[in-house]
C-alpha cells in the first residue's frame, strides 16, 4: 500500500492516545534499526526518544529477536497458575541488579499495572489508606495510576480513586519555595512535606510514590538530600517508599535504576519499558523482604491473564543480557556526560533556552521568554502559546524524532547511541531553536 492509502486506512479506524482525533496526521513508520527509523516514503529519522523511552538497546537487536523466535517455538503463553523457565530466570536476573533486598518480582503487562498493584500491596501491608504522590509526577493512565499523576492528564479522570494526596517535590530550576540553590530547595521542600504529613496524620499514610527523577513533566532532578530525607521520613512513620522506575530504570540515568543515583533503597519498585526495551510489553512490581514475608502468610490478590507472559519474559532475559554484554549502563553514564556538555552549550547560545537538565541519557531542555526571571515561553499546558507543535515539525523535517510539550523538549535516545550520533542530534536541535529564539528576540 502507498503511504496515502495507509494514512486513509489509519484515519478511518484508529484512535490515537492523548490527541483530538481530528488533528491526527500520523507519519507512518515502516522499519527501524539501531537508533534510526524509516517511514513508508523511505525518510530516515534519528529516534531521539527511544520510542516512548523504552527501546533502550536500540531497534532490531538480533540477540533479542533470536531469543524471541526460540521461545515462540516452545510456548508463547503459559497461564499465570504455572511456572515457566523464562519467568523464573528473569526473576533471578532482575534480583541481581535491583538495589538492596528488592528480590521478589510480580510480573505485569505494563508500568501502569505495576503501579496499580503497588497501591494495593502498600494498603494491604500497612493497613492504611492514603497514598502520597507528587505534583508533576506521572504514573500511568489506568484508574489508580492516573489519580496518582500530578499533571493535567489526571483531570478528565477525576475524581479518581479515593485516598490519594499530592505533595510538592523539589524543582531546583524554579523552586516553589523561593530559592535558586538546589540543596536549599531540597531542604525547604522536605520541611513542607514533613509538615503536610504531620497535619495529615502519618499513621494514615500507606506509601509515598515518586519518580526518582520526574519524567514527562521536565526531567526534574532532585538533590540527593531530599530523596534521602523522604526515605528517612518513611522509616520514621512506617510508610512505604515506592520508586516508579518505569522511565528511570534500566540504564536510562546511567545506573541500573534511577533511585541508585541517590543511594536510597525503596520498599517497592515499579518498572516496565526498558525491561524488554519495548520488543514485547512487560512490566513488574518488585518487593523487598519485609513485604515478601508478609505476603507469604497473607494472600496477594492481584494479577491479569498475561502476567509473566512467557514470550515477554524470554525477551526480558535476552534484553538484560544485551545490557550487560554491551556495557550499556556504563555507556549511558559516559555518553550522558557528553550529551550534558553539548546541551549546556546550547543553553549558552540560545536566548529562549532557560535550563538544560541531564542525567545519563535522559535530558530536558526548558524554554523561557526571559532567562533572568525564568518566565515561561509556552506556559503550563500552553497557557501562553503553543510552541511544541512547530518545534516537533522542525525536528521531523530535519530527520529527528523528539517529544516536546509546553516548555519542554525531551531527549532520551537508545543507550547504544554514539558521540557522533549525539552530535548529529544536537545539531538538529540547535537549528530548531532558531524558531523559539525568534519569539523572544
Structure confidence by residue, pLDDT tens digits, 147-181? 999 999 999 999 999 999 999 999 999 998 999 89
Beta-bridge partner residues of 106: 285
Residues 6 or more apart whose Cβ sits within 8 Å of residue 323:
56, 57, 250, 251, 329, 415
> By C-alpha distance, which of 407, 405, 400, 404 is closest to 425?
400
Beta-bridge partner residues of 44: 38
DSSP calls for 188-237: HHHHHHHHHHHHH-GGGEEEEEE-SSB-TTT-B---HHHHHHHHHHHHHH
pLDDT the model gives residue 233:
98
> By C-alpha distance, which of 34, 79, 91 is closest to 271?
91
pLDDT band at 126 (very low <50, low <70, confident <90, very high): very high
CA distances from 57 to 22, 111, 160 (A): 34, 18, 36
Three-state DSSP at 86 gives: helix
Neighbours of 263 (CB within 10 A): 11
Burial class (CB in 10 A: 0-12, 13-18, 19+), 272: buried
> By C-alpha distance, which of 402, 367, 409, 365 is closest to 384?
367
pLDDT above 90 for 327: yes
pLDDT band at 441 (very low <50, low <70, confident <90, very high): confident
Three-state DSSP at 281 gives: coil
Q: Give 384's DSSP letter.
A: S
Domains within the chain, CATH numbers bracketed: 3-57+327-438 (3.90.1150.10), 63-325 (3.40.640.10)
pLDDT the model gives residue 71:
98
Grid cell in block for residue 172: 531546583
* C-beta of residue 277 within 8 angstroms of C-beta of residue 290: no
| Mean pLDDT of the residues in the chain | 97
Beta-bridge partner residues of 34: 59
* C-beta of residue 424 within 8 angstroms of C-beta of residue 413: no
Backbone Cα Rg of the chain: 22
Sheet with 240-244, edge to edge strand ranges: 104-108, 283-287, 268-271, 240-244, 205-210, 130-134, 164-167
Helix 224-237 × helix 182-200 angle, to 10°: 20
Average pLDDT over residues 423-438: 98
Convert the pLDDT of each residue in 43-86 to its tens digit: 999 999 999 999 999 999 999 999 999 999 999 999 999 999 99
Neighbours of 13 (CB within 10 A): 6
Average pLDDT over residues 354-358: 98
Omega cis (within 30) before 159: yes
pLDDT above 90 for 137: yes
pLDDT the model gives residue 131:
98
Convert the pLDDT of each residue in 369-407 to its tens digit: 999 999 999 999 999 999 999 999 999 999 999 999 999
Beta-bridge partner residues of 243: 210, 269
Residues 6 or more apart whose Cβ sits within 8 Å of residue 330:
none
The model carries a pTM of 0.96
Grid cell in block for residue 72: 515462540
User: What's the rounded Cα separation, in Å, for the pair 273 and 277?
Assistant: 6
pLDDT above 90 for 293: yes
> By C-alpha distance, which of 421, 439, 318 is closest to 361?
421
First to last CA, the chain: 46
Amino acid at each position: 500500500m502507498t503511504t496515502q492509502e495507509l494514512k486513509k486506512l489509519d484515519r478511518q479506524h484508529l484512535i490515537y492516545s492523548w490527541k483530538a482525533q481530528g488533528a491526527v496526521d500520523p507519519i507512518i513508520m515502516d522499519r527501524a534499526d539501531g537508533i534510526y527509523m524509516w517511514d513508508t516514503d523511505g525518510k530516515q529519522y534519528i529516534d531521539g526518544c527511544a520510542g516512548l523511552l523504552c527501546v533502550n538497546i536500540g531497534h532490531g537487536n538480533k540477540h533479542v529477536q533470536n531469543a524471541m523466535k526460540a521461545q515462540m517455538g516452545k510456548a508463547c503463553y503459559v497461564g499465570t497458575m504455572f511456572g515457566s523457565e523464562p519467568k523464573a530466570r528473569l526473576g533471578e536476573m532482575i534480583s541481581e541488579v535491583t538495589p538492596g533486598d528488592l528480590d521478589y518480582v510480580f510480573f505485569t503487562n505494563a508500568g501502569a499495572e505495576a503501579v496499580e498493584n503497588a497501591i494495593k500491596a502498600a494498603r494491604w501491608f500497612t493497613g492504611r489508606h492514603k497514598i502520597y504522590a507528587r505534583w508533576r509526577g506521572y504514573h500511568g493512565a489506568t484508574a489508580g495510576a492516573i489519580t496518582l499523576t500530578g499533571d493535567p492528564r489526571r483531570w478528565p479522570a477525576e475524581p479518581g480513586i479515593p485516598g490519594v494526596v499530592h505533595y510538592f517535590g523539589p524543582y531546583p530550576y524554579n523552586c516553589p519555595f523561593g530559592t535558586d540553590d538546589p540543596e536549599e530547595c531540597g531542604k525547604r521542600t522536605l520541611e513542607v512535606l514533613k509538615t503536610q504529613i504531620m497535619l495529615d496524620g502519618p499513621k494514615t499514610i500507606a506509601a509515598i510514590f515518586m519518580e526518582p527523577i520526574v519524567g514527562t513533566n521536565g526531567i526534574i532532578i532532585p538533590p540527593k538530600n531530599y530523596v534521602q530525607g523522604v526515605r528517612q521520613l518513611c522509616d520514621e512513620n512506617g510508610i512505604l517508599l515506592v520508586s516508579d522506575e518505569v522511565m528511570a530504570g534500566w540504564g536510562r540515568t546511567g545506573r541500573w535504576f534511577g533511585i541508585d543515583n541517590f543511594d536510597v533503597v525503596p520498599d517497592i519498585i515499579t518498572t516496565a519499558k526498558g525491561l524488554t526495551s519495548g520488543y514485547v510489553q512487560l512490566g513488574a512490581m518488585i518487593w523487598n523482604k519485609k513485604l515478601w514475608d508478609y505476603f507469604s502468610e497473607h494472600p496477594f490478590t492481584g494479577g491479569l491473564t498475561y502476567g509473566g507472559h512467557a514470550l515477554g519474559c524470554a525477551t526480558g532475559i535476552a534484553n538484560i543480557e544485551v545490557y550487560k554484554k554491551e556495557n550499556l549502563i556504563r555507556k549511558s553514564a559516559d555518553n550522558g556526560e557528553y550529551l550534558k556538555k553539548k546541551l549546556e552549550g546550547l543553553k549558552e547560545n540560545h536566548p529562549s533556552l532557560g535550563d538544560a537538565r541531564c542525567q545519563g541519557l535522559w535530558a530536558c531542555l526548558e524554554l523561557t521568554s526571559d532567562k533572568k526571571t525564568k518566565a515561561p515561553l509556552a506556559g503550563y499546558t500552553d497557557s501562553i502559546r503553543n510552541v511544541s507543535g512547530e518545534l516537533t515539525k522542525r525536528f521531523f523535517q530535519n530527520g529527528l524524532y523528539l517529544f516536546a510539550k509546553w516548555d519542554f523538549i525531551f531527549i532520551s535516545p537508545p543507550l547504544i547511541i554514539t558521540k557522533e550520533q549525539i552530535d548529529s542530534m544536537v545539531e538538529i536541535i540547535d537549528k530548531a531553536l532558531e524558531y523559539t529564539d525568534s519569539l523572544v528576540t
